Amino acid sequence: MYNILICDDEKDIVSALKIYLKTSGYNIYEAYNGKEALEQIKEHDIHLVLMDIMMPEMDGITAMLKIREETNLPVILLTAKSEDTDKILGLEVGADDYITKPFNPVEVIARVKSQLRRYMQLGSGQIKKDAIVIGGIELNDNSKQVTVDGELVSLTPTEYDILRLLMEHPGQVFSPRDIYKEVWKETPLGAEGSVAVHIRHLREKIEINPGEPRYIKVIWGRGYKMEYQ
């Protein structure tokens, strides 16, 4: 059974999400601000976090930064429609996805399942025995590790899946919608804009100069591709 932490200062929202997720068989932990969320993560084996952005004592963005100092467990932000700037910032500092309030229960369950599937797969050796190497980047899908010029880099599950997709098809251009469908395993419903944020964050980890990328190239009006080296 997977352990999910719900963090929101509005108790009604926590209660509603708890009902959705417990019905699907998940074990639920609760927190009402970022400090409590960090304490729960230290005390329990949490597999995924659903976290609000605007909270007292410690907001979701600050908590997100502290979480990423220790772990790559998936974090889904709970956002209001008016919080677009904070939503993008959250993705930039390591959030894997976001869900906009008011929630659709079906969407909540689908996104939780998608993130958990990718997170757990990162710990299981499968698919390919050999590493994929492009230039100085080596991606080993058995160990789920990525090195750049011999140095191990820490990627979130979403970043890893995007990089693997591009490295498996060097030179092929993928539109943001294509990437979203392949990585999130669902039909894009306006959320594919987050792909650009994940690409930018990925570049910061694998490129010497993210402003002039050597590997992940943008093809204006079409999408992204992994450059042959």
**Mean pLDDT value of segment 80-95:** 78
Residue 87, classified by CB atoms within 10 Å of its CB into exposed (0-12), middle (13-18) or buried (19+), is buried
The Cα-based distances of 147 to 16, 108, 132, 139, 210 in angstroms read 41, 33, 11, 7, 17
Contact 208, 214 (CB under 8 A): yes
**129 has pLDDT over 60:** no
**128 has pLDDT over 50:** no
Under DSSP, is residue 189 helix (H, G, I), strand (E, B) or coil? Answer: coil
Lowest-pLDDT range, 11-15, 92-96, 129-133, 200-204? Answer: 129-133
Q: Which CATH number fits domain 3-121: 3.50.50.60, 3.30.365.10, 3.90.120.10, 3.40.50.2300?
A: 3.40.50.2300
Q: What does R_g of the chain's alpha carbons equal in angstroms?
A: 18
Query: Domain spans of the chain?
Result: 3-121, 132-226
Domain 132-226 has CATH 1.10.3720.10: no
Under DSSP, is residue 86 helix (H, G, I), strand (E, B) or coil? Answer: helix
pLDDT digits over 147-197, tens only?
Answer: 988 889 999 999 999 999 999 999 999 999 999 999 988 776 665 678 999
How high is the mean pLDDT of the chain?
87
Under DSSP, is residue 120 helix (H, G, I), strand (E, B) or coil? Answer: helix
Contact 228, 171 (CB under 8 A): yes
**2 has pLDDT over 80:** yes
Is the torsion defined by CA of 219, 204, 46, 58 positive or negative?
negative
d(CA 68, CA 80): 23
pLDDT at residue 191, as a whole number: 59
Q: Which residues pair with 199 in a beta bridge?
A: none
What are the backbone angles phi and psi of residue 42, rounded to the nearest 5°?
-70, -35
pLDDT digits over 107-118, tens only?
Answer: 899 889 888 887
